[in-house]
Chains A and B, each alone.
Chain A
Amino acid sequence: MNSTKPKLAVHKFSSCDGCQLALLNLGESLLELPKYVDITHFAEAGPNNPNAKVDIALVEGSISTPADVERIKQVRENSAYLIAIGACATAGGLQALANLADRDAWMAAVYAQPDAIETLGSSSSISEHVKVDLELHGCPVNSQQVIAALADLLAGVNPVIERQPLCMECKRKGVVCTMVTKGEPCMGLVTRAGCSALCPSLGRACYSCYGPAETVNDGALAQRLQSLGLTPEAVARRFLFITSATPPFRDAGLRLRQPPLETDE
């Protein structure tokens, strides 16, 4: 085949497969995709050429084994433009919660022979291992994010990255503030927009599945959440959730878990 279409690969690391569904859930549009790109590698859909050179690689999942470390280097070498998709690939994912714990003890609690399973002892983002050209955030990313990024690249322009907090998206959509009107412990103040304000639209607090926004005032939010009746530990759990390995959320969460400074009793 002498196709001049750009070649696309979809690679998976440690994940739930939910971000690949951004493509597999396209419905009939999925069948339009081959008009624009050659899908060279996408094991879940069938094509299986993990080592082929491609123009664009979509990478789902976090790095958690020695074999992953080698494989992501290979993917990087073979890919002109590498896009990390979803919370696992951009932040280590929910499973990065294990980074905060005694992972060996956890493995021993789950497996009879933990030594039979090789892991790194942590779950990390793709960018901690190789250069990443674009990060698409979300747990999961949605089809529009992925398709918009691909379309921009095919058109030769840089994809736009969402940096604002979710509050802006609520305002644009006219969604009533759950924190102000219902006292809900909303994380939207510090969370990256891009989900179209799903949770506040259903009247519930954002739980930050898109990770930290560009600027995070965690101290002010923590104070506000505590004034709503949450314990410091309950606030910590909200930072240490889907993207617990991102520096702003990790630091905010761990700070809340520190024992209080000595008081004059």
Chain B
Amino acid sequence: MASKREIHINVPVLTRVEGEGALEFDVVHGVIQKLNLRIFEPPRLFEKFVEGYEYDQVIDMVARICGICPVAYQMSAVQAFERLFGVDPGTWVRDMRRVMYCGEWLQSHALHVHLLAAPDFFGFESAIAMAEKHPEVVRRGLRLQGLGNDLITLFGGRSVHPVGVRVGGFYKAPAQAAVADMVKQLEEALPQAEALVRWCAELDFPHDEQAFTSVALSEPGEYAIGSGRLVSGQGLDIDISHFESHFEEFQVPHSTALHTQLEGRPYLTGPLARLNLNFRQLPKPVRAVMEDCGIHFPSHNMFHSILARAIEIHLVIYEALQLLQAYERPDVSAVQVRPRAGTAFGCTEAPRGFLWHRYDVDERGDIRRARIVPPTSQNQARIEQDLCASLESFGLDHEDDALRQRAEQVIRNYDPCISCATHFLKLKVSRC
């Protein structure tokens, strides 16, 4: 019987993921014996070399952890320092940071949906190959991605490692005319985002329901992006400063990224987890399109991640538009900051899930110790758990090639950002 054969699958380089990783698994007598998502990005030791640097320098250093979500790193860090220093930069800064963050979700999600994930659903090697058959879909995706980049650039001068965010606010407020132009572009993009949601809803999703715990930030008044409490589908509801009492990290031999567990178990962070927990807070027009397409959350089918990203693309274009329509350029773009010593905690929702930072800071505002927990290392244990379950439900008697393809598609559901996952976490050697 086919299912009795011994299978050894080795995918030495995962393509269409950000960073370098590999997958290996063995099947003996129809059962997965060993499965390793190997992350072999070399350690860059970010947490160590921010030590001794100034708080505003750290904003620019941590951006370099990830070229795809630098804004997320800057926002978690800036939130941490402002909380510790007791700085309230006010509504304008808060709103504009949300807009900038919307830009990052937009470019990152559009990149993932079109360049990384969609080719799987149609059997293409790449989006460039897919563009020959579906040019309009790919072009729409690239336009949305470009708009996201432009939104970041509006506040940060460039979209990769932008330079606009500082503790206390922004270095400079965008000009009124530039914002007016952006509003026009967002208005044009809104129907495109709606069309994208409808297009994604028609994709042929494998049926693969699995039990897992979703974890995300949650805010009472809005769909959480730049702040909130950490909540789970299983009743967790904590201030971000209590993260370390509930989550723990450990090293596994096959990966340079540390794994993370919540109360000893894997969990999911990212767009699907966010929608599962916060879909009721989607703005009415966004929710209306979703419901019109027959999409319902919560969902425990990880293949719905692409759909979750499309809905969040619609959300962020809508939100950015709302917040920029009333834009008035302020006289000052940042408030005064006076550093103080202590422990700073920051947590925001990066495109791939929540991104937690802790900094021990001295009285001058220089960093003494840092700990950063990025989404992909949090999801690693969950990805391995998912692969075991979904490959078995897919059928281990499939040909090696089909198994390999399915495995890669499952991994891409998480949009793993391997560069992020491997800059590493301060390890507490305590195991339970």
- Which residues 94-122 of A sit at the B interface, judged by CB distance below 8 A? 94-95, 97-98, 101, 103, 106-107, 109-113, 116-117, 119
Q: Is A154 part of the binding interface, using a Cβ–Cβ cutoff of 8 Å?
A: no
A21 contacts the other chain (CB 8 A):
yes
* Contact (Cβ within 8 A) B161 A106: no
**How many of chain B's residues touch chain A, expressed as a range?**
35 or more
- Assess A202 versus B171: contact at CB under 8 Å? Given A39-B128, A110-B43: yes
Residues of B within 8 A of A195 (CB): 158
Interface 1/0s, chain B 139-174, versus A by CB < 8 A? 100110110010000000111110110100001100
Residue in A17, A31, A106, A241 whose CB lies within 8 Å of B18? A17
State how many residues of chain A have any CB contact under 8 Å with chain B: 63
A52 at the interface (CB under 8 A from B): no
CA distance A242 to B173 in the complex (A): 26
Given the known interface contacts A209-B161, A234-B54, the answer about A17 and B68 at a Cβ–Cβ threshold of 8 Å is yes
Contact, CB under 8 Å: B48 / A101: yes
Q: Is B138 an interface residue (CB 8 A)?
A: yes
In the complex, whether B45 has a CB less than 8 A from a CB of chain A is yes
Q: Are A112 and B427 in contact (CB under 8 A)?
A: yes
The B interface is mostly helix, strand or loop, or mixed, namely loop
Interface residue ranges of B1-54 to A (CB < 8 Å): 13-20, 41-49, 52-54
Asked whether, in the complex, the Cβ of B48 is within 8 Å of the Cβ of A106, the reply is yes
- Residues of chain B lying within 8 A (CB to CB) of residue A119: 42-43
- On whether the beta carbons of A204 and B171 are closer than 8 Å, the reply is yes
The answer to whether A94 and B142 have CB atoms under 8 Å apart is: no
Cβ 8 A contact of B163, one of A12, A50, A202: A202
A246 within 8 A of B: no
The 10 A-B residue pairs whose C-beta atoms are closest, nearest first, are A18-B67, A46-B126, A27-B146, A97-B49, A95-B44, A198-B157, A16-B67, A202-B171, A202-B172, A106-B48
Question: Would you list 28 pairs from A and B whose C-beta atoms are within 8 A, ordered by A residue?
Answer: A14-B41, A16-B64, A16-B65, A17-B19, A18-B64, A18-B68, A21-B67, A25-B149, A27-B149, A28-B139, A31-B138, A31-B139, A34-B128, A43-B13, A45-B126, A47-B15, A94-B44, A101-B48, A103-B45, A110-B424, A111-B251, A111-B258, A112-B429, A140-B67, A140-B160, A198-B163, A203-B171, A204-B163
